[in-house]
């Protein structure tokens, strides 16, 4: 069973529908015992880092997620789920889970003669694979994925970066470390390639 972490935010049902479509049993839950017993965990959704961390701490799920990571079972973060993995976010000066060294930074608003880069970034953008990983099996490089974000992760070390995207500048959009995988883009909203990556994660 795949546990989808319920932290009082939206977009959880979209992930659940995608997993059901792929034929995998799943449950949206905030019960620590259910999460601990799951074969895999997905932390998806949209939201602000500080509010997300406050909800996790209120429900005791911050420690549950840390323990799950250390269990070695596959764990996937999507959108806000990649940002809270790092030590700190500029968004409301939030302290996050600290599973990976690094921080989360806000996009600069950039204006040139030819374009204005709006924040948040909303829409389709290319992801380039920077190193091979099973999550990318059968996925072309580059491929288009759907983004909704005002902040981006800045890992302390580049060895965890498996995908990058350009939005005025190049930034990290996918990471992997041991049993942990996370994407800034929304797999569940990215059509065929998004479903392929979800299926690759579920097959790990």
Task: Give DSSP secondary structure letters for 169-198.
Answer: SEEEEEEEETTEEEESSBGGGSHHHHHHHH
Distance, CA of 185 to chain centre: 7
CA distance 137 to 105: 29
Could you tell me if 21 and 14 are in contact, meaning their C-beta atoms sit under 8 angstroms apart? no
CA distance 198 to 196: 5
| Dihedral, CA of residue 21, residue 24, residue 25 and residue 31, to nearest 10 | -100
Task: Give DSSP secondary structure letters for 77-115.
Answer: EETHHHHTTEEEETGGGEE---SEEEEEEEPPPEE-SS-
Cα dist from 82 to 45, 138, 149, 174, whole Å? 10, 22, 11, 8
Active centre residues (catalytic): 79, 186, 188
Backbone angles phi and psi of 91, in degrees to 5: -70, 105
């Amino acid at each position: 069973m795949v546990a989808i972490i319920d932290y009082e935010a939206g977009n959880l049902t979209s992930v659940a529908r995608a997993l059901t479509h792929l034929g995998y049993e799943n449950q949206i839950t905030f019960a620590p015992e259910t999460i601990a017993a799951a074969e895999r965990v997905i932390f998806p959704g949209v939201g602000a880092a500080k509010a997300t961390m406050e909800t996790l701490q209120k429900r005791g799920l911050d420690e549950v997620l840390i323990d799950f990571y250390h269990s070695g079972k596959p764990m996937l973060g999507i959108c806000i789920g990649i940002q809270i993995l790092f030590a700190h976010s500029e968004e409301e000066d939030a302290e996050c889970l600290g599973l990976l060294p690094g921080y989360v930074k806000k996009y600069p608003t950039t204006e040139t003669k030819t374009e204005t880069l709006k924040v948040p970034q909303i829409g389709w953008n290319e992801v380039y694979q920077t190193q091979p990983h099973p999550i990318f099996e059968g996925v072309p490089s580059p491929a288009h994925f759907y983004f909704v974000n005002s902040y981006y992760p800045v890992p302390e070390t580049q060895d965890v970066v498996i995908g990058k995207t350009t939005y005025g500048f190049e930034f990290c959009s996918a990471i992997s470390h041991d049993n942990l995988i996370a994407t800034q883009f929304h797999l569940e909203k990215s059509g065929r390639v998004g479903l392929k990556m979800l299926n690759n994660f579920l097959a790990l």
